[in-house]
Structure 1
Amino acid sequence: MCGISGIYNFDRERIANEKIIVQMTNKIQHRGPDDSACYVDGHVGLGFVRLSIIDLSHGMQPFFSPDKSIVLTCNGEIFNYRELRQKMEAKGYSFKTNCDIEVIVYLYMEYGTDFLNMINGQFAFCLYDKRNEILLMARDHFGICPLFYAKLEDALVYGSEIKSVLEHPDVTRRIDHKGLDQIFTFPANIAPITFFDDVKSLEPGHYAILKNNKLETKEYWNLDYPTKDYDYGQKSEEYYIENLNDLLLKSVNYRLNADVPVGFYLSGGLDSSMIGGMMRHLDKTKEFNSFSICFPNTENKDINEQRFQRLLSEKVKSKHNEVPFRWDDFENKLRNVIYYSESPLKETYNICSIALSERAKSEKIKVVLSGEGADELFGGYAGYKFDGRREGNIGYKDLEHLREDEVRKKLWGNPDFIYEKNENEFRETKQALYSSLLNNSYKDFDCLREPAIDHSRIKDRHHFHQRSYVDFKLRLGGHLIADHGDRMTLANNVEGRYPFLDVDLINFAKTIPPSLMVKDMQEKYILKKVAQKYVPSEIINREKFGFVAPGSPHLLKTNSEWVNELLSYDRIKRQGYFNPDTVERLKKMYSRDGFILNPPYDLDLLIIVLTFNMFIDVFDVPNAS
């Protein structure tokens, strides 16, 4: 992948400032260290940095239409570009390169924005149509590739990362309090919200058109599960196994296409093991690199998965790279992660993620395949197993339950849908944690007062599909393939690809009966059936294990100067975001002997406070006002 940035001045007589565009582009040099470009045409300027993966010699951007009236910069990959290219060549279009991105120009010329539904890929692009004076921005179906923008009084500014947008002198660094409230409430910020008031995130599956200085965003794709009364027919279990197997193989094969070495992340769980097994099945001539985080010291023995990682590596004959987790220089590692994440953290595992991409870079691997998406699509979390038992067993509700129902109805459109916790009760915890200054305007940014999703997408759906949709939108799109995925891989010039996030695969997965997703309290039942051909039974049948990295209780017990300073009473009070007395009480509680947090069920409040304060330092954020 690459990085893009740009400026569109609303006054057509005002020339786009090349110096500012270069500064914006330089901020995301890590996304594309191989080459860079700055294109300025009057009031419009586009910046680009390249990570060379396909057609190394001729894939530099921008791409142009033959008459130069269309200009394109794109971050990402179009996996079905060969099929699309043949289609466009049959219509008379001529290509100048073998780069996958070039096809977008001709698809737009032929189909307009309708071409977005023809693409299978991960992408975020900006296309300037000079003849029609249109700026088109679009983001892939799932949000793998990021795209941020700020609509100012006299210009639109955009970039692949927030830090790029912040380089524009008119973009402020004022905190969006709703973004802060969301990080305590949900797995991540929900697009278009970010942590900065001026900066918005283009939503996955959306495009934005700037015309006549007016910006309009539109949805072109969404995960649309069938309603409860959908007739799945009489298809056999074997039918679903065969088709799922074929589509997964096709997806992995798509994502192996590169003119540079490709590797894979290996956690030791089912999903990453399947990908490694399929890579070996598709190409037995290559020794792929696998990368695993491990916890070799005795203190972390309960979260060490080396045995399963090595088992899969031996089966697929990969060149295995074990990256040990170490506490040394933890402060600088954490600051580095926050800089690239562009967000405070709810847990510290991103330190492990960035260590994996650092090792991949050292091994000269530019592309890694990873297993994100399988849990959300095939029911890999505990909630999927217990929703069925809970459905229909509502019983008597007291006043507190009725208040919670009101919140759930507002968030999800369904008072009986329970996502992670009692949100109304947790609202009191948040207000106790916020400063009096923030509480004075709490109603203005309380994220429980508006929908978290499009209610129509889970209305009249099976409880499995309801949870899958919410996980897909909140946990996957906002966190796992965002700050945890894209930002951590590209921090070290490595592109992450996700075979489970393939539009053809997902369109088929929607048609699989929920009874084959979770069966007899076994999560990911149908996926495990497919895995039997590629993965050792010890991995398939092992109990699901979630990555857990050490949190704030451990940090407090180290009594490190930097931890104490970030959580000091005076600092908390001076910054004005949190209540220093509440933070002091949490510090005492978390420091007690025997105190344990059990993620993901217990929220580490202090790690959010600590990393938010570090975030303030890293991005030079002003105190609350």
Structure 2
Amino acid sequence: MCGITGILDFGKRNRIESGELKRMTDAIYHRGPDDFAYLLEENLGLGFRRLSIIDLAHGQQPFYSEDGSVVLICNGEIYNYKELRQELIAKGYRFKTACDVEVIVHLYVAYGIDFIRRLNGQFAFCIYDRKEDCLYLARDQFGICPLFYYLADQLLVFGSEIKALLQSRFVKKAVNPTALDQLFSFPGIVSPVTFFQDIHSLKPGHYLKVKGTDVQELEYWDLDYPLESEQLEEKPEHYYVDRLEELLLKSVKYRLNADVPVGFYLSGGLDSSLVAAMMKRLSPDHSYKSFSIGYPRAEDSEHDERIYQRLVAGKVNSVHKEIEFDWSEVADRLKDAIYYSEGALKESYNTCSLALSQAVRESSIKVVLSGEGSDELLGGYVGYRFDVQRSGFEKHMGLEEMLEAQWREKLWGDPDFFYETNHYEFRNTTKAVYSNKINDNFEAIDCLETLPINKSRLAGRHPFHKRSYLDLKLRLSDHLISDHADRVNYANSVEGRYPFLDIELVEFIKTIPPAVKLKHMTEKYILKQVAKRYLPDSINTRQKFSWVAPGSSQLLQNNVEWINDMLSYDRISRQGYFNPDTIERIKKIYSARNFKLNLPYDTDLLIIVLTFNIFLEVFDMPAL
């Protein structure tokens, strides 16, 4: 994987400068320290940073079609490239390297942009077709690889990270308050929203097409669960177990393909442990390196999973590295976490992830596998069980319950479907936190008025599938994968790979009936049947254990000077986004020695305020 950036002047006014293109590319050096390249034509500039993983001696980008009319830069891995490559060779196409992404340029020539539906991988790419004077930007189905763009005055500026765009003289910095409102309301921010006004995140499963002066954003894939009314043939349980195992093994095997050492993250939970066990099954004579976070202090012991991490590391015979973490590590790394995440955060665990990726890099590992995606697709969160428990109960609604039901109908098309937050009640909390300036203009920034999902994908679906769709869109793609995983891995020039986010695997998971995924109220029941073949019962029978890190209350209780300054009355007043009196009251509650947030179920209001203030400082953003 790599980092890409570029400028297209489709107004044909020759506005691209070489020095500007170089600064944009240098801003994402950490994504690709091994090599770099630039392409500068009359109205097109492309920049590329390489993290060499496949075909180390070659694979330099850009790639070109045989006649030179099509040019490609890509951040990504195409896992089914060997099959695609053989097909293209049979059609007469010639390859110059053994690099996986070279197939993209030839696929485009052979099939046009529709080829994208044939890719199994994680990718963000730019294709420019000189003959057609047409540029495409595309992002993979699950949004594993981020891609940002700024569009104004017939000029397109894009990059793998926002910090590349900020090097362009055309991009003006301004805060997007809707992103802040999303952070309070949802698990994280959601494409196309970013914390920068007018800088957009290309949505997962979409591509941007610029032809002449016409710009279109088009969808090529979405998670489309079957309607409840569709009578799908249900197969025996063993069929789903066997097929799930087969496809997951295939996915892990794909993601072990590299010309550099590969390792894995180990949380101690089911998903990362099963990935580790499958790696061992596929390469029984190989000893991989594994990495985990532990919490040695007594006050954090409830979040410490080292006993399970060590159990799995021993079973798969990995060379295991533990990183010990506490509130002081959070304080030391929080500004870096904001710099690489390019926005405020709802939790502090990006600091843990930075420590993990640093340990990976220091161990001379460039690629790590981890278990993200399983919970969202197979029912790993408590909400899936709550949906079953709520069904069939007679409801007695007072006024507040009726008003909340109206919100649910508006958001999800179902007055009985609860997702994450009681929005009617929580709206009062957020408005109390916001400043008068924000509240005076609240209708313009209210994220609940512009819900960034396709609600037709919820209509007529089973509650399990509704929740899974929302978890993919509102939790996984931009928050857990793009911001939490991609950005903090690449901060230390490490590529993350996610076997559960394999398009062939996910298309199969769509066909597994909800009753099989959550049989006997057992979270991820069907996956646990697979795991019985690989893992000890002590891992397989554990309930979901959310990974959390010390929150704002511990930082306040330990009286960290710079954090006190970030949350000071004067600073809050000066910046203008929050109500300083409300923040003072919350600080008093959080600072009490006996106070403790029930993470991850409680919203850590002050970590949002704190990280937003850090964001303003790190990126030199204007006050309101």
The TM-score with structure 1 as length reference comes to 0.98
Is 1:153 paired with 2:153? yes
Displacement of 1:213 in angstroms is 2.1
Q: Match for residue 458 of structure 2?
A: 458
Q: Distance in 1 between matches of 2:411 and 2:13?
A: 45
Q: Match for residue 299 of structure 1?
A: 299
Q: Which amino acid aligns with 2:273?
A: S
- Pairwise mapping of residues 247-262 of structure 1 onto structure 2 (< 5 A)? 247-262=247-262
SS of the residue corresponding to residue 100 of structure 1 reads coil
SS of the residue corresponding to residue 535 of structure 2 reads coil
Q: Match for residue 57 of structure 2?
A: 57
Q: Match for residue 572 of structure 2?
A: 572
Single out whichever of 178-187 and 535-544 deviates more from structure 2. Answer: 535-544
Q: Match for residue 48 of structure 1?
A: 48
Is 1:544 paired with 2:544? yes
Q: Match for residue 238 of structure 2?
A: 238
Q: Distance in 2 between matches of 1:87 and 1:380?
A: 38
Q: Deviations over 1:123-159 (max 9, x none)?
A: 0000111110011000000000000000021410000
Displacement of 1:39 in angstroms is 0.4
- Pairwise mapping of residues 83-94 of structure 1 onto structure 2 (< 5 A)? 83-94=83-94
SS of the residue corresponding to residue 77 of structure 2 reads strand
Q: Distance in 1 between matches of 2:57 and 2:83?
A: 22
Q: Match for residue 486 of structure 1?
A: 486
Identity %: 55
Instruction: Note the residue ranges of structure 2 that are not aligned, 5 or more in a row.
Output: none
Single out whichever of 71-80 and 172-181 deviates more from structure 2. Answer: 172-181
Q: Match for residue 381 of structure 2?
A: 381
Q: How many residues align?
A: 624
Displacement of 1:391 in angstroms is 2.3
- Pairwise mapping of residues 174-253 of structure 1 onto structure 2 (< 5 A)? 174-253=174-253
- Pairwise mapping of residues 60-459 of structure 1 onto structure 2 (< 5 A)? 60-328=60-328, 330-393=330-393, 395-459=395-459
Q: Distance in 2 between matches of 1:612 and 1:146?
A: 21
Q: Distance in 2 between matches of 1:394 and 1:162?
A: 49
Displacement of 1:542 in angstroms is 1.7
- With over 3 angstroms needed to count, the CA separation of the structure-2 counterparts of 1:137 and 1:452, relative to structure 1, is closer
Q: Which amino acid aligns with 2:614?
A: M
Q: Which amino acid aligns with 1:87?
A: E
- With over 3 angstroms needed to count, the CA separation of the structure-2 counterparts of 1:212 and 1:240, relative to structure 1, is same
- With over 3 angstroms needed to count, the CA separation of the structure-2 counterparts of 1:513 and 1:329, relative to structure 1, is closer
SS of the residue corresponding to residue 124 of structure 1 reads strand
Q: Match for residue 561 of structure 2?
A: 561
Q: Distance in 2 between matches of 1:331 and 1:496?
A: 25
Displacement of 1:230 in angstroms is 2.9
Q: Which amino acid aligns with 1:591?
A: S
Q: Which amino acid aligns with 1:592?
A: A
Q: Deviations over 1:418-446 (max 9, x none)?
A: 10121011111111111111111101111
Displacement of 1:329 in angstroms is 5.8
Q: Match for residue 593 of structure 1?
A: 593
- With over 3 angstroms needed to count, the CA separation of the structure-2 counterparts of 1:11 and 1:421, relative to structure 1, is closer
SS of the residue corresponding to residue 521 of structure 2 reads coil
Q: Distance in 2 between matches of 1:526 and 1:230?
A: 22
Q: Distance in 2 between matches of 1:234 and 1:497?
A: 32
Single out whichever of 148-157 and 137-146 deviates more from structure 2. Answer: 148-157
SS of the residue corresponding to residue 593 of structure 1 reads coil
Q: Distance in 2 between matches of 1:521 and 1:329?
A: 38
- With over 3 angstroms needed to count, the CA separation of the structure-2 counterparts of 1:199 and 1:234, relative to structure 1, is closer
Q: Distance in 2 between matches of 1:207 and 1:303?
A: 40
Q: Distance in 2 between matches of 1:299 and 1:248?
A: 37
Q: Deviations over 1:582-602 (max 9, x none)?
A: 100101111123212112221
SS of the residue corresponding to residue 191 of structure 2 reads coil
Q: Deviations over 1:280-318 (max 9, x none)?
A: 000112110111111122222221111111111111111
Is 1:513 paired with 2:509? no
Q: Distance in 2 between matches of 1:253 and 1:111?
A: 27
Q: Which amino acid aligns with 2:288?
A: F
Equivalent residues of 2:327, 2:554 under 8 A apart: no
Q: Which amino acid aligns with 1:622?
A: P
Displacement of 1:406 in angstroms is 2.4
Q: Distance in 1 between matches of 2:327 and 2:590?
A: 19
Pairwise CA RMSD = 1.2
Equivalent residues of 1:410, 1:451 under 8 A apart: no
Q: Distance in 2 between matches of 1:10 and 1:101?
A: 26
Equivalent residues of 2:327, 2:550 under 8 A apart: no
SS of the residue corresponding to residue 519 of structure 2 reads coil
Equivalent residues of 1:4, 1:46 under 8 A apart: yes
- With over 3 angstroms needed to count, the CA separation of the structure-2 counterparts of 1:105 and 1:242, relative to structure 1, is same
Q: Distance in 2 between matches of 1:428 and 1:13?
A: 49
Equivalent residues of 2:4, 2:25 under 8 A apart: yes
SS of the residue corresponding to residue 128 of structure 1 reads strand
Q: Distance in 1 between matches of 2:438 and 2:535?
A: 51
- With over 3 angstroms needed to count, the CA separation of the structure-2 counterparts of 1:262 and 1:160, relative to structure 1, is same
Single out whichever of 284-293 and 229-238 deviates more from structure 2. Answer: 229-238
Displacement of 1:536 in angstroms is 1.3
Displacement of 1:15 in angstroms is 4.9
Displacement of 1:451 in angstroms is 2.8
SS of the residue corresponding to residue 424 of structure 1 reads helix
SS of the residue corresponding to residue 322 of structure 1 reads strand
Displacement of 1:327 in angstroms is 4.1
Is 1:26 paired with 2:1? no
- With over 3 angstroms needed to count, the CA separation of the structure-2 counterparts of 1:451 and 1:409, relative to structure 1, is farther
Displacement of 1:483 in angstroms is 1.5
- Pairwise mapping of residues 499-538 of structure 1 onto structure 2 (< 5 A)? 499-538=499-538
Q: Distance in 2 between matches of 1:179 and 1:544?
A: 29
Q: Distance in 2 between matches of 1:238 and 1:329?
A: 46
Q: Distance in 2 between matches of 1:16 and 1:343?
A: 28
SS of the residue corresponding to residue 68 of structure 1 reads coil
Q: Deviations over 1:500-529 (max 9, x none)?
A: 000000000011111111111210000000
Equivalent residues of 2:79, 2:121 under 8 A apart: yes
Single out whichever of 232-241 and 252-261 deviates more from structure 2. Answer: 232-241
Q: Match for residue 584 of structure 1?
A: 584
Q: Distance in 1 between matches of 2:613 and 2:582?
A: 15
Q: Which amino acid aligns with 1:405?
A: A
Displacement of 1:13 in angstroms is 4.1
Equivalent residues of 1:15, 1:44 under 8 A apart: no
Equivalent residues of 2:376, 2:471 under 8 A apart: yes
Displacement of 1:167 in angstroms is 1.2
Equivalent residues of 1:187, 1:478 under 8 A apart: no
Q: Distance in 2 between matches of 1:43 and 1:363?
A: 42
Equivalent residues of 1:65, 1:106 under 8 A apart: yes
Q: Which amino acid aligns with 1:521?
A: M
Q: Match for residue 619 of structure 2?
A: 619
Q: Distance in 2 between matches of 1:290 and 1:230?
A: 44
Q: Distance in 1 between matches of 2:80 and 2:622?
A: 45
